[in-house]
Amino acid sequence: MMRENNAGGYMRANQVSVLAMMLFAGTVCAHAKDERQIVGSWIVSNNEDRFGKGGTFVAAVLDQNGGTALAVRCIEKDLSIAVIDSSQDPKPLKVGTAYVVKMRTDKEPIMTTAGKAIGDRLIQFDTQADMVRTIRKGRETAIRLENDNGVSRTLIFPTKGNMKALARVADECNLD
């Protein structure tokens, strides 16, 4: 079992896994220019659309345990936030399952929105620009997912140093 937290160990393996999941999270269209890179603790994928529809721009960061990623996405000029289960042996989500999503960055007020499983590893949130702006200013973002059965899960993401990672998402979805 990989449990190390060094550049060549568990975290690197999970970064590769998350990068693959990022492609699942938003890239189905053809792309003219694809860029994938690691920016600090963030994994960034910038894919321009060949037909000028805006492309797919994703920045994702792993949670404290390295098994789940928070992805901020701009897909064809549509802003969204998603949580992606990137663990090596995930329990598949039931597509269509609704969630109440509570998000808090640092000591900012708690933001509540709806979420839905749109894949067996991905929950997408109803996203407002202010949610992403708050993440961009913060050092840590906590996400609490609650389903209709009363089951909840809290995830904590180290979002410090994200300005460069989220720059293209912010530009493409006009956050500034």
Amino acid letter, residue 14: N
Two structure tokens written together for 35: 């860029």
Residue 88 main-chain phi, psi, to 5 deg: -75, -20
Give pTM, 2 decimals: 0.80
Among 156, 162, 58, which residue's Cα sits nearest to residue 104? 156
Above 60 in pLDDT, residue 17? Answer: no
Place 173 in a pLDDT band, splitting at 50, 70 and 90.
Answer: very high
Domain chopping of the chain, boundaries: 35-173
pLDDT at 6: 41
For 35-173, CATH number out of 2.20.25.10, 1.10.3720.10, 3.40.50.1820, 2.60.40.1880 equals 2.60.40.1880
Distance CA 108, CA 105 (A): 6
Average pLDDT of the residues in 103-111:
97
Distance CA 123, CA 161 (A): 24
* Window from 7-11, 77-81, 143-147 with minimum mean pLDDT: 7-11
